Each structure stands twice: as structure tokens, then as C-alpha cells.
């Protein structure tokens, strides 16, 4: 048989694409020797996987005969090819006879088919690289867009190869995998997902799950950023690797809020340190302890505060963070409507953003916490608690989200609310669990949400600031 090519060689100054003539011949010959082997290769290779044109023609004729339930041998193949006026192009009757004669056995036909498929995949990778290089030389090409297109095409190729690789998709396999996961969770004695600082919330959600998009929505001043940062800090403090994409606030602003939450000092004191003097050395010690607590998260929490990022730019940022931290366990995007996208109208733009963030959650295998604004129309209602219909600018968000949580603080609308100092976290959608409402304590001055004890009472404002009339409104 012909020479087997395992590595690119040079012919006439150009590289020969990866291929194995011997493996192609062995597949065809094996199928002629034992028709029963067709089922072993039918879903593994196709005509397009064969490098030589004559082999593509022959394999196509074998497929047609096998699917018609007819025998495959030298005579039937020659007849099928002649009827298609392709016998001469396929090498003629003599070449078919040679293939059958020189194949010693059909026992290893699947192994030969694996080689053919592998060489085909390598040729596709080479073609993808060449196309990507050509695009890089085109005038006006944006680097991030070219990288994202390359990534998408590479991922698509990888998915096709994985699907052809004999992955077991039977119910039995799915049940076995599910049982394995259940046993691991039981042995670990921990939440299936990433824990938050709020046990009552985790009781409903079982934590933040990998590959899922969690939408955290609310009207301005409800505390969306504070809640997300509290969850991020808690995760990082417990060893999770967290990425925060802040399209609205600067890294310095986020750091101020994290210091307030970690130290228990009012945000106003963090922003104007002169106020710390009123608390004496204890206040400065409290500040130092809070900063030290956050510093211990170095390497566990990364921030990107660039504005107006696109989905490809967010992906690129996350790749960099994943590389520097050695992985990713949680991503926070603040907030969804500030991501830049293109579309005929705003609804289409937000829909593309939502789908893009959902894809990131799956591709990076992380919980994606995406903050979202709500339509202001809800403020015209008597009961201003949000519903799914209030998600701003796109119903696609509701479709893509695995979990949707709304933040509602009655005191924002009712100054004398009996629920002052608390927040309702309304789980309005959970694809794999129940819905419900959890009430948390809200300390606006320290940008904190805390578990709410049954006998909880609103604590007095810290330090001397109480005399000046503290506001519980969130400063964001």
C-alpha cells in the first residue's frame, strides 16, 4: 500500500497536509472483508475525512450500499461506482481488488478509522490556522474580534470531534454520572454549589452552580453591587478564585466598599479618613484589620474596571484572570446592560449580551452572576416588588438565566417601613429548584448584607455618625 504520512512533509516547497493513506486503505478494505464492521465506523468517519479523492468516492459508495442493506464487496462496489460514473476516478476494478487483497484483517477497522479521523481533524486545524492568519493580515481587523472568531471556530471543531469520539450519551451513562455526583456531594457533606454568606439563601439555591447564569436584578439604590461584592468576598476568603468585571464603578470605588464591608466601618469614613479620628486608635485598628483581611485574598480576587466592554473583551479578560489565578470559580459582571453589543435595536443588543454571558458561564464552567437593571415602570405600582416581567429591555434574560433573584428594600419607597434595615431576596426563577423569598439584614453604611436572626433588631449606627442622621440608603 501507499506510504503513511504521520507528519507534514515538503513536496514542491509546500507542506503536505496530515494524512495516512495506509489507514484509509485499511478502512475500505476491512469493510469489504467484513460488512458487519460498518456499525463500528459509520458514526466515526465520513467521506470528507478521507484525504484522497478516490477514497472519498469509494467510502461514499460503501455508505450508500450499507444504508440500503446491500452487501459490500469488490463486485458490488464496482457496480455502484460505475452507475455513478465514478469507477475510473476511484481507481477502477483493479484498485478495489487490491484494497481487499492487501488488507489482512477487518478486526482493527475501528482503530484504522480513528487514525483517519485524527488526520482529518489535524487538517481542519491547519486550515483554521491559515484562515485566521489570513484574516490577521486584512486591513482594519480588530485583534480581539479575530481572536474571538478563532476561539469560536476552534470550540466548534472541538465539540464536533468530541461528539464523534464515541461519547456515551445513553440514559444509563447519564444516570451513572448523576449517581456519582450525588455520592460525592454526600461524602463531602457540603453544598453542591459555591456557598454564599447567607445560609438561608443557600438552603433554597444550594449555592452558586458552575455553568449557570445567575441574574441579580433590582432598581437603583437597592444594593445590587453590595450583595454581589459580599458574595465575591466570601467566596475569595474561602479559597475560591473570583473575577469581578465592573463596567460601572472604578476599582478604587469597589475597594472602598469592600474595605467598609470587611472592616465594619462606615463607607463615609473610608472615603473621608478624617472621620476616623473620632473613633481614635480603635477605628484605625479596625481599618487595618479590614485591609489585612482583604489583602489575604490576593491571588483569589481580580478586578477589571474598564468601561464599555464587549463580550469578546470580557472573555479575553477572564482568560487572563484565569491564567493568573490558576482557574476561575466565580464571575461577577456589574452590570449586564452596560456591556457593549450591536443590534438593530436595544432589545436585540441586550439579548445578544445575555446569550453571550450565558455562553461564558458554560464555556468557562463557572457560576456567572450578572447584575441587571429593572424597568422603572414597576415604581408606578402599589406593590413595587419586582416580577419577571420587570427585567429591563429583553425577555431573553429570563430565558437564559438559570436563576433570577430580585433585591427589594421597602424603605427605599416607604421611609417609615416596618421592614426598615432589611432586604428581601426574591428568587423568582430557579431552573433546578424552588422559588421563594429570603430576608436579610441590610447595613447600608458598611455596604453589607447579613443573615437575619429571628430576634434581629436594627443596630444603632456605628461611631459618632449617628448624631448626624445616618441614612440607610445604599450609596450606589
Write out the three cell numbers for 348: 436585540
Banded pLDDT at 170 (limits 50, 70, 90): low
Q: Model confidence over 215-226: pLDDT tens digits?
A: 999 999 899 999
Is a pLDDT exceeding 70 seen at residue 65? yes
Helix and strand numbers (H, E) in the chain are 16, 13
Average pLDDT over residues 90-105: 88
Comparing 32-46, 197-211, 251-265, the range with the smallest average pLDDT is 32-46
Whether 29 and 95 have beta carbons less than 8 Å apart is answered as no
Comparing 149-153, 210-214, 347-351, 411-415, the range with the smallest average pLDDT is 149-153
User: Mean pLDDT highest for which of 124-128, 208-212, 271-275?
Assistant: 208-212
> Hey, is 372 helix, strand or coil?
strand
At residue 462, the pLDDT reads 52
At residue 7, the pLDDT reads 42
What is the residue-averaged pLDDT of the chain? 84
Look at residues 386, 382, 375, 377 and name the one whose alpha carbon lies nearest to residue 429. 386
Phi first, then psi: what are they for 216, rounded to 5°?
-115, 110
At residue 299, the pLDDT reads 82
Write out the three cell numbers for 303: 478586578
Element (H, E) at 245: strand 242-246
Comparing 188-202, 267-281, 404-418, the range with the smallest average pLDDT is 267-281
140 φψ region: left (φ > 0), alpha (ψ -120 to 50), beta (else): left
Banded pLDDT at 275 (limits 50, 70, 90): confident
**Cα of 326 vs its chain's centroid, Å:** 16
Q: How many CA atoms lie within 13 A of 85 on its CB side?
A: 0
At residue 226, the pLDDT reads 95
Look at residues 59, 17, 57 and name the one whose alpha carbon lies nearest to residue 38. 59
Write out the three cell numbers for 200: 438561608
318 or 457: whose pLDDT is higher? 318
DSSP code of 250? -
109 φψ region: left (φ > 0), alpha (ψ -120 to 50), beta (else): alpha
Comparing 320-334, 375-389, 426-440, the range with the smallest average pLDDT is 375-389
At residue 464, the pLDDT reads 46
44 or 475: whose pLDDT is higher? 44
At residue 58, the pLDDT reads 93
| Domains of the chain, first to last | 4-164 (1.10.860.10), 193-468 (3.40.50.300)
Amino acid at each position: 500500500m501507499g506510504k503513511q504520512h504521520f507528519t507534514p512533509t515538503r513536496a514542491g516547497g509546500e507542506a503536505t497536509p496530515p494524512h495516512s493513506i495506509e489507514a484509509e486503505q485499511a478502512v475500505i478494505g476491512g469493510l469489504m472483508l467484513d460488512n458487519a464492521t460498518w456499525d463500528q465506523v459509520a458514526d466515526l468517519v465520513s467521506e470528507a475525512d478521507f484525504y484522497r479523492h478516490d477514497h472519498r468516492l469509494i467510502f461514499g459508495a460503501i455508505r450508500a450500499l450499507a444504508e440500503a442493506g446491500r452487501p459490500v464487496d469488490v463486485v458490488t462496489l464496482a457496480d455502484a461506482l460505475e452507475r455513478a460514473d465514478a469507477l475510473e476516478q476511484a481507481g477502477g476494478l483493479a484498485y478495489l481488488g487490491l484494497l481487499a487483497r492487501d488488507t489482512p484483517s477487518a478486526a482493527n477497522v475501528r482503530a484504522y478509522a480513528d487514525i483517519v479521523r485524527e488526520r482529518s481533524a489535524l487538517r481542519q486545524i491547519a486550515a483554521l490556522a491559515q484562515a485566521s492568519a489570513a484574516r490577521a493580515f486584512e486591513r482594519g481587523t480588530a485583534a480581539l474580534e479575530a481572536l474571538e472568531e478563532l476561539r469560536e471556530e476552534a470550540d466548534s471543531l472541538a465539540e464536533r470531534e468530541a461528539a464523534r469520539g464515541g461519547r456515551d450519551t445513553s440514559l444509563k451513562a447519564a444516570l451513572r454520572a448523576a449517581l456519582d455526583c450525588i455520592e460525592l456531594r454526600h461524602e463531602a457533606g457540603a453544598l453542591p454549589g459555591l456557598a454564599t454568606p447567607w445560609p438561608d439563601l443557600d438552603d433554597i439555591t444550594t449555592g452558586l452552580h458552575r455553568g449557570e447564569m445567575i441574574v441579580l436584578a433590582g432598581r437603583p439604590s437597592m444594593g445590587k453591587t453590595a450583595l454581589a461584592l459580599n458574595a465575591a468576598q466570601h467566596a475569595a476568603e474561602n479559597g475560591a478564585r473570583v473575577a469581578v468585571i465592573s463596567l460601572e464603578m472604578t476599582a478604587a470605588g469597589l475597594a472602598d466598599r469592600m474595605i467598609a464591608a470587611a472592616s465594619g466601618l462606615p463607607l463615609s469614613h473610608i472615603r473621608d479618613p478624617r472621620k476616623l479620628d473620632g473613633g481614635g486608635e480603635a477605628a484605625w485598628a479596625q481599618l487595618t484589620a479590614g485591609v489585612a483581611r482583604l489583602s489575604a485574598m490576593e491571588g483569589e480576587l481580580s478586578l477589571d474596571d474598564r468601561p464599555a466592554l464587549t463580550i469578546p473583551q470580557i472573555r479575553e479578560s477572564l482568560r487572563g484572570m484565569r491564567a493568573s489565578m490558576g482557574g476561575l470559580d466565580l464571575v461577577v459582571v456589574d452590570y449586564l446592560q452596560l456591556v457593549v453589543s450591536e443590534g438593530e435595536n436595544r432589545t436585540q443588543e441586550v439579548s445578544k449580551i445575555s446569550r453571550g454571558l450565558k455562553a461564558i458561564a458554560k464555556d468557562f464552567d463557572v457560576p456567572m452572576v450578572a447584575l441587571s437593571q429593572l424597568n422603572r415602570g414597576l415604581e408606578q405600582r402599589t406593590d413595587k416588588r419586582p416580577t419577571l416581567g420587570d427585567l429591563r429591555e429583553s425577555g431573553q434574560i429570563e430565558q437564559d438565566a438559570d436563576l433570577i433573584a430580585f433585591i427589594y428594600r421597602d424603605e427605599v419607597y416607604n421611609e417609615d417601613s416596618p421592614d426598615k434595615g432589611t432586604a428581601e431576596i426574591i428568587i423568582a426563577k430557579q431552573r433546578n429548584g424552588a422559588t421563594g423569598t429570603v430576608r436579610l439584614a441590610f447595613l447600608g453604611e458598611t455596604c453589607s448584607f447579613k443573615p437575619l436572626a429571628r430576634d434581629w433588631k436594627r443596630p444603632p449606627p456605628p461611631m459618632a455618625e449617628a448624631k448626624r442622621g445616618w441614612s440607610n440608603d445604599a450609596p450606589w
